[in-house]
Structure formats: structure tokens, C-alpha cells
Structure 1
Amino acid sequence: MNREIRSVEDLLRVLDGLFGGGPAWDGLYADRDRPVPFFVPQPDENLDAWLRDGRLRGGRALELGCGPGRNARRLAEAGYEVDAVDVSPAAIAWARERAPGVRFHLADIFAVDLPHERYDLIYDSGCLHHLAPHRRISYLALLDRHLAPGGHFGLVCFAAGTGDPDAGTEIPDAQLYRDGSLHGGLAYTADELRRLFAAYTEAELRPMREDTGLFGKPFLLAGLFRRD
């Protein structure tokens, strides 16, 4: 059938196809010895800081794009009941070894069957910046559906304006569709994130810190928002 679009979700899936299969995550995670920055066992420095200073105080946590489980493990150690989602079987296998007390789900974040409707924390380290622009619609709907009132949303993503070649692209959205490529990921300014998450109250938005002994790169932004 050539006429595939009969709903918004049909449209989003057709637009997904313009970008091919996306990054080959399973091939990346299958080689555990590859020198990839986020293959380290340490959690994000910002997540650790928010847990230590008491801004995040436990409950239920949902991690989007959990990779090999380093942040999910930190959340579980802090007392959270954690559900963590990733599309890569290799990443989920690795994560289950690292954090056996976490519920890991091999699924697309927009199609996962979760055991709870609401979470006190939704955390994303590097998922949003690998989503095509039209999937921001799905992403905001996911937050609205699953973030509990009074809950927090934490984010790490590529920062625009750093000049770092690892910081993703600042190419405008429309050009990404003409190119049929996300060019390795999308960089955001702090103001773009504030506009995108305007329904939430900003608690902190800053570059990640290096030299903490944990994971942190200055070409990444770390943000914490609260649903009032």
C-alpha cells in the first residue's frame, strides 16, 4: 500500500525512514574494549551531584537510552526503583551484568511497555540529541505521560557553540531532512532547551564538569527540570 499515512504516528514513522536505520548502536556496544568515552563504568557527574546534594531523593526512575547501565546502576544504589530502556541488545546485556537489580527493557523508548505509569525521575544521558527533530513531539508526550507531578527530568545532550568536533551538529532542522542525516547528533543551546522544556521549571542547566573522577565532558550540557 502506497498511502501509508493515516495518523500522526504513521507520519512520524515515515519521517523516521528519511534518516535510514540510524546509528549502529548494537555494533558499537558489542565491542566493549573500544575506547568510547561513555563506556566508562562511572555515572554522569551531574547525576551523582544531584543525588548527593539531595535534589533527587529516590522513588521510581525511568532512564531513556540507558546504554551499558552506568547511570541506572548509580540510581539503584541511591535507592531508586529503576526501569531503563535501550534499543541495543548488546547494551542491555552489558547493563544487566553491571546492575542486576535494575529492570532493563529492550525496546524503543516510544513503544516500551512500562510497569508504572508515573516516575519521580526521568533521566536521559545522550538519547535526545540522537532523535530526529520530529521525534521531539513524541519525546515531550512521553514526559507528559510518565513524569509524576513534582518529579524531575534530567538531561545530558550535545552543547552548541563549543567548537568541539564531538559536540554534534548545529545544522538547522530543515536542512537535516534535505541531507537525510543527523550528522552524528544534534547540538542544543541552553536557550533552545529552555524553550523545548518550557512546561517545566529549570533547576539547573550548565556544561558538564571534567576532572571529577566521574563521566563529564565540556561539550555536553547537563540540565535538571522539575514538573510543578
Structure 2
Amino acid sequence: MDRNIRTVEDVLRLLDGLFAPDADRWTGRGAAWWDGFYADRSRPVPFFVAKPDENLVAYLDRGLITAGGRALDLGCGPGRNTVHLAAHGFEVDAVDLSPAAVDWARERCRDEGIQATFHCGDAFALAGKELAGPYDLVYDSGCFHHLPPHRRVSYLALLDQVLASGGHFALTCFAAGEMGSELSDADFYREARLHGGLAYTDESLRRIFSDLTEVELRRMRDEPEGSEWFGEEFLWTALFRRESVR
């Protein structure tokens, strides 16, 4: 007889189990799945390019976020945005489940002659330990939409723990009507599949991150192949600020 649930984390792990093998996309077991994904660097995957997100470039150029300070790159992948942040004076902690992704990101930083600190593992487990805030910027390009609904609880707890007072949180995620599954939260549990990722509306993002102040929420601009920046219009870009505590 199994009667082991006594904490919120116990409940979250139980719900993780409903999505096996999809759970390997976000839990500590996910290294092997993502290593296979990153094994062939020549694959025509849009975010394999060595270009930063156009919205991140715009935030810095327009002064919506200030260069420098400490930044956390959640789900850094092959380090596109890690490189850009570090090149603009941020002290960057970059985290990813996949050793293959982290190795690639390290190589890109080394090739550019810049420094960043890399962490391989589950960001939820590392928060408050290796990922010791406060961070002036938490940046997520494509991690959030791979989480099942119940792990938004963990995600918001992570932000609450590591985001500095007055700091910014920015993300890109699948836009409803363009990319990702539009099943209701409840239907994901009925089907026990994530269908490659969750689509979001602008209203749903505002509701989920309602404890933060919206700075900008728009669709990512589509960037042509020859652009210096990464841009795909099937993504939302969102920038929020945590109000300063006096």
C-alpha cells in the first residue's frame, strides 16, 4: 500500500509520473532525451543558430533592461542568449538539463572569449543552491512551454525565490493559434501527454504572472535568414518586472 504523499512536492512528483515518458522533458531524468535532441548540431532546428533572441536585443537597446548585474538563463540550450547576456556585462548563470547542450554553450562562450557559469541539472532542484539569487534578470527562451500545468507552481516558486526586487523576468513561449497544443489544462491529464508543448494566449500569460508588473508583451518578430538575431512569429515575447520592496 502506497501512502507516501505528505507535501506539495510529493503531489507534484506524482503528477509528473502521469506524463511518462514526456516527463523526461523537464525532470531530472531528462538529460538523456535532450542529449539525443542536441546530438546532431547540423539539424535544421531554428534555435540551433548562434543568434540571440530579437526581443532580448531590443530590451537592451531600448533600455527596458539595464546591462550588467546578474542574469539567470533558464534552459539555456546551446547558449545563444547566454553569449549575448555575458557580452553585455551580465554575470550569467546558465542552466540546462542536458550535458550536450551545456557543452555546446560552453564552447560558444569560449569561442567568443567571454565568461559564464554553467549548471547542468533541474533548475527547480538547483534553485537556492547552485542557482543562488537574487538575479536582476531571469531569462527563459523556450523552457516554460514544455512544463505541464502543475509545474507552473514550481516555476512561480523559483521566480519568487531567485528574482531580485526590482528585477526583470523575460520569456518566449508558444503562441496559441501558431504553435503548441491548445488543450485545456484538465485535458492534458486526461490524455497524459503534452503533445510537444503548451500554447499560451496573452491573457493566460498575464494571469499566470499577475504578481509581476507587465512591461511588454508582444509576438516575436520574424527575422529573415540573414539577420543577426533569432526571431520566429509563432512565439510570444514577454517582459515583466518585480516591483521593488521598500
TM over 0.5: yes
- Cα distance in 2 between the residues matched to 1:125 and 1:87: 14
SS for the counterpart of 2:125 is coil
| 1:34 maps onto 2:43 in alignment | yes
Displacement of 1:114 in angstroms is: 2.4
**Residue pairs, 1:159-170, within 5 angstroms:** 159-162=175-178, 167-170=179-182
Give unmatched runs, 5+ long, in structure 2.
Answer: 26-32
**Residue pairs, 1:104-123, within 5 angstroms:** 104-112=118-126, 113-114=129-130, 116-123=132-139
**Residue pairs, 1:52-201, within 5 angstroms:** 52-57=61-66, 58-100=68-110, 101-112=115-126, 113-114=129-130, 116-162=132-178, 167-201=179-213
Give unmatched runs, 5+ long, in structure 1.
Answer: none
- Cα distance in 2 between the residues matched to 1:61 and 1:202: 19
Alignment partner, residue 231 of structure 2: 216
Displacement of 1:115 in angstroms is: 5.1
Point out 4+ residue stretches in structure 1 off by more than 2 angstroms. 1-4, 21-24, 113-117
Deviation digits for residues 169-197 of structure 1 (CA, Å, limit 9, x no counterpart): 00001111111110000000001000001
- Cα distance in 1 between the residues matched to 2:222 and 2:180: 19
Match of 1:44 among 39, 43, 53: 53
- Cα distance in 2 between the residues matched to 1:115 and 1:62: 8
* Residues 223, 232 of structure 2: 8 Å contact kept: no
Q: TM-score, normalised by structure 2?
A: 0.88
- Cα distance in 2 between the residues matched to 1:14 and 1:54: 43
Q: TM-score, normalised by structure 1?
A: 0.95
Could you tell me which amino acid in structure 2 is paired with residue 83 of structure 1? Answer: D
Q: Percent identity?
A: 62
Alpha carbons of structure 1 residues 222 and 115: separation in structure 2 relative to 1, 3 Å:
closer
Displacement of 1:53 in angstroms is: 1.4
After superposition, the CA RMSD in angstroms is: 1.2
Deviation digits for residues 56-95 of structure 1 (CA, Å, limit 9, x no counterpart): 2120000111101110110000100000110011101101
